[in-house]
Structure 1
Amino acid sequence: MTPSRRQTARRRTTVLRRRAVLATVPVAVAALLGAAAPTAPGTAGAPGAGDPYFPLSGNGGYHVGHYDLTLRYDTATRHLDGRAVLTARATQRLSRFDLDLTGLKVTAVTVDRTPAAFRRDGQELVVTPRRTLPAGHAFEIAVGYQGTPQPVTDPDGSRDGWIPTDDGAFVAGEPQGAMTWFPANAHPRDKSSYDFTLTVPQGRTAVANGELLSQRTAHGRTTFHWREPRPMAAYLATATIGTFQVQRSTTPDGIRIYNAVDPREASSAAPVLKKLPSVLAWESKLFGPYPYRSAGAIVDHAPDVGYALETQTRPVYDAAPDLATLVHESAHQWFGDSVSLTAWKDIWLNEGFATYAEWLYAEQHGGDSAQKTFDALYASPAGDALWAYPPGDPGSGKNLFGTPVYARGAMALHELRGAVGDGPFFRILRAWAAEHRDGHGTTAQFTRLAQRVSGKRLDGLFHTWLYTKGKPNTA
């Protein structure tokens, strides 16, 4: 994620962020059937994934392998009709489980095509199947829902999720917004493949992750079918809708690019988006092969959003991005998307890495060296916001997207580079992306990798730059 350049004048150096009829089983009948299977002690899935920053995000007792989301959105009334089919596997004996979903009315829930009891408890959709699911059992959850989706407000005051715009919706889910538009196991630890079937008024375009498989128009509406086959965290899913100019191309490496640009941003976005293939090629040389088969950008006109987000394969921008932002969000495809967080406190593994990619790009394209950028930041006085908290554990969700995570996180990487040398440093970055591809990582794992590749003890360096309060001493 990057904050909007409208929010800060120093963004470059500080980076300060299928179709289906809904099930019609009456709720009362579903509840009656579900009530025949009371919850056995110790068999209910946990209502959260155990992340201290967002205790109710994600859920326990199962893993979702695939989401099939069918959405119909009316841009005039802002009404959404949805059906989500989740293919999952129980990781324990499971008599009850939760899904993350807020604000929308649930009309029916089935488990393995049998009506299930359900109830709402805040952001939790609590589902009780008719029979307890054995550990290891593969099962299907179908949820019908409708309503007017609204964004959530995060601890730092920003909004994420389904954010209405004057011609559609800007859909960006970090850190907790996925639950505003589909029922999910919404923590980065649970990654899944996705199908999106999105129906919108004719003249609007609906853009999601991965590749566009089909597009058809009938009776005044257009339906887009998108598929992302690679594992993806729920917060990285998008279904952004608007009046877009669409540009398609293929890079020399065979990556299919799909850009969707609001006409109001087209002239400003064009020279930057023209560089996307070369940016991806440059990052591939540094970090290893691009993790996906498709790429691109969604450039919306959303002046009230205030940030861009690295939605998988196709970042979404609230306005025409500058080149540094394009480099940043593209780098996230390796660091954050392909290699995902295990806990939100490790957010520097996303943002510090993407920020340092900006520094490296500038260094290798006629701009300031990474050392010069580092030095300018280090000159900040001890009371500066840069040193307000350590990036390795920001302390709360309120601090996830603050200056230390981005800038001091990048500074930690620069210190690592200086300690081990360029050759080992870039081998470390490539190994991190390769060994954790489509998976997860932690700071401890990165530290061990860096020590293994470099042959050096680096505990002190990481402790100083990631976990020490205040301004570190470089002496």
Structure 2
Amino acid sequence: MLLTSRTGLRTSSRRLKAALLASAVSVCLVAASAPPTPLGVGDALFPHLGNPGYDVASYDLAFTYPGSNSKPLQAVTTIDAWTTASLDRVNLDFGRGEVRSVEVNGLPAEYVDAGEDLVVTPPTTLPEGSWMRITVRHTSHPVPPKGGRGGGWVRTADGLAMANQADAAHLAFPCNDHPSDKAMFTIRVTAPQGYTAVANGLRGAVNRAGKATTWTYRTQHPMATELTQVSVGRSTVLHRTGPRGLPIRDVVPTAHRAKLEPWLKKTPEHVAWMEEKVGPYPFETYGVLVADASTGFELETQTLSLFEKDLFTHDALPEWYVDSIMVHELAHQWFGDSVSPRTWSDLWLNEGHATWYEALYAEEKGERTLATRMKAAYGASDLWRRAGGPPAAPKAPEDGDRLGIFRPNVYDGGALVLYALRQEIGRTAFERLERAWVSRHQDGTATTADFVQLASDIAGRDLNGFMKGWLYGAKTPPMPGHPDWKPGVPAKAPKTRPEAGPHAGAPHGGR
């Protein structure tokens, strides 16, 4: 994700997941008589996010849009999963909506709320290693309750879109809401005549019945819940072809189609540029979803990145800047979407890489030198570490602040780590590392330790000692090749992005 403000199939294996879930699984094996309680998978930043005891294989989401973006959608969520422990209860993350019924393997099941968990009691215990299907009929609310936190649905001028990062997918539908448990998705959206519905993946059947239409979309690669995208609006879908025949579809408010086209036609070139850097685009399609809404960010929802309309229509924004932001979200398709973080503390792997390619593009196309930007980041790095923690050990967000982990320490601070690594091992080895990283972990999850190990393998020497300070140190280490760079005294920030709004100094990145 990129915080912006412009004023005026390989899922991770059960063995890999076991390391994250080990401490939480024992908590899951509670006696049926114990009170329901919210669980989690042990994430340091979001303790109650995700649930132990099962591995989701697929989601089938069905939403019916009522023609108003302030009224609840009727919804059915079906989850197919394998149990990884014997379960008397199954916890789902679900924090907003009315549950009307729950079935487990076709039989009615009891359920109760516990915090932002929906705790389901199946008719019989589910043995370890068994297949289960959970069907939840519920409402999905686009308007948070008074005093409740936002996230999930974003209301646009003509409908809805989703923005689930980091911990908000479960505000729209029941799920195992943690990036360590990726799954396949089928998404069905029914909307009244005059609306167009889009979602992640490729479009399947379109069925019209009376004054309503149902669209079906399916992913061809596993996806984390935080990357889910569903949009309904008075939209036009534009099709074009990218490198190697890649289908590109853009979704724009029909009223703004002409003004947006000069930007949208750039995407094939952006994809080609990224493929030159890191290898083939990892998914079945790509495109830009333009929302007529004020969000304060852009977001790398898988195969269909979400952008505010004002990014493209604000006359004060230079072309190189808008291009680099488009590349930032595109880069996330490799870094964050295809290769997802095992825990949210690994966020720098997403944002640091997306910021890196944003900055490289600005250097090559906009003559904004990477070294100048990194020197400014180096000067500010100690302050960022003090405020938000080191890049690979970020501080937890404050209660209710779902965007609180998206701080400069993981954006330009994360890119600074990559710059230091390139300085240490050389450009050729670094470029090999980047390609190997997205190839080795495609469709899976990975950790900071995985990245350091791969870097060591490619460099031919142990880099743990070098990387430790850059990733986890309270102070910024000396920059290889730049003995004159001094931390703790921020240089005047280069004009890498326009200064406007409350997040002007914040990195413009995908969540």
> TM-score scaled to structure 2, two decimals?
0.81
1:243/1:262 contact within 8 Å kept: yes
2:38/2:114 contact within 8 Å kept: no
**1:133: which partner in 2?**
126
**2:332: which partner in 1?**
332
Listed one character per residue, the Cα deviations across residues 159-182 of structure 1 (whole Å, up to 9, x for unaligned) are: 421122332112110011111111
d(CA) in 2 for partners of 1:471 and 1:452? 24
**2:62: which partner in 1?**
70
1:265/1:299 contact within 8 Å kept: no
**1:277: which partner in 2?**
268
Q: Secondary structure at the match of 2:222?
A: strand
d(CA) in 2 for partners of 1:4 and 1:453? 35
Q: 2:172 aligns with which of 175, 181, 184?
A: 181
Aligned residues: 442
Q: Secondary structure at the match of 2:151?
A: strand
d(CA) in 1 for partners of 2:51 and 2:146? 21
> TM-score scaled to structure 1, two decimals?
0.87
**1:308: which partner in 2?**
298
1:108/1:144 contact within 8 Å kept: yes
2:242/2:271 contact within 8 Å kept: no
Q: Secondary structure at the match of 2:207?
A: strand
**2:82: which partner in 1?**
89
d(CA) in 1 for partners of 2:41 and 2:389? 25
Q: 2:416 aligns with which of 403, 411, 416?
A: 411
d(CA) in 2 for partners of 1:172 and 1:423? 37
**1:463: which partner in 2?**
468
Shift of 1:381: 8.5
Q: Which of structure 1's runs of 4+ aligned residues deviate more than 6 A?
A: 384-387
Q: Secondary structure at the match of 1:295?
A: coil
d(CA) in 1 for partners of 2:252 and 2:273? 24
Q: 1:147 to 1:232 in 2, by over 3 A?
A: closer
Shift of 1:457: 3.3
Q: Secondary structure at the match of 2:391?
A: coil
2:386/2:474 contact within 8 Å kept: no
1:46/1:60 contact within 8 Å kept: no
Listed one character per residue, the Cα deviations across residues 324-349 of structure 1 (whole Å, up to 9, x for unaligned) are: 11100100001000101111111100
d(CA) in 2 for partners of 1:376 and 1:213? 48
Shift of 1:263: 3.9
Could you tell me the percent identity over the aligned residues? 38
Higher strand share: 1
Shift of 1:231: 0.6
Q: 1:214 aligns with which of 193, 202, 205?
A: 205
1:338/1:439 contact within 8 Å kept: yes
**1:112: which partner in 2?**
105
Listed one character per residue, the Cα deviations across residues 60-118 of structure 1 (whole Å, up to 9, x for unaligned) are: 11111010111101132522100111111101111111111112111111111011111
Q: 1:385 to 1:138 in 2, by over 3 A?
A: closer
1:79/1:146 contact within 8 Å kept: yes
* Counterpart mapping for 1:239-250 below 5 A: 239-250=230-241
- Which piece of structure 1 moves more, 443-452 or 371-380? 371-380
Q: Secondary structure at the match of 2:353?
A: helix
Q: 2:52 aligns with which of 60, 65, 84?
A: 60
Q: 1:352 to 1:252 in 2, by over 3 A?
A: closer
Query: Greater relative contact order (Cα 8 A, min sep 6): structure 1 or 2?
Result: 2
1:45/1:60 contact within 8 Å kept: no
Q: 1:159 to 1:287 in 2, by over 3 A?
A: farther
**1:428: which partner in 2?**
433
Listed one character per residue, the Cα deviations across residues 192-213 of structure 1 (whole Å, up to 9, x for unaligned) are: 0000110112212221100111
Q: 1:367 to 1:414 in 2, by over 3 A?
A: same
2:243/2:271 contact within 8 Å kept: no
Q: 1:195 to 1:217 in 2, by over 3 A?
A: same
**1:443: which partner in 2?**
448
d(CA) in 2 for partners of 1:78 and 1:283? 40
d(CA) in 1 for partners of 2:381 and 2:354? 24
**1:317: which partner in 2?**
307
d(CA) in 1 for partners of 2:52 and 2:87? 10
Q: 1:443 to 1:151 in 2, by over 3 A?
A: farther
**1:28: which partner in 2?**
none
Give structure 1 stretches of 5+ with no counterpart: 10-37
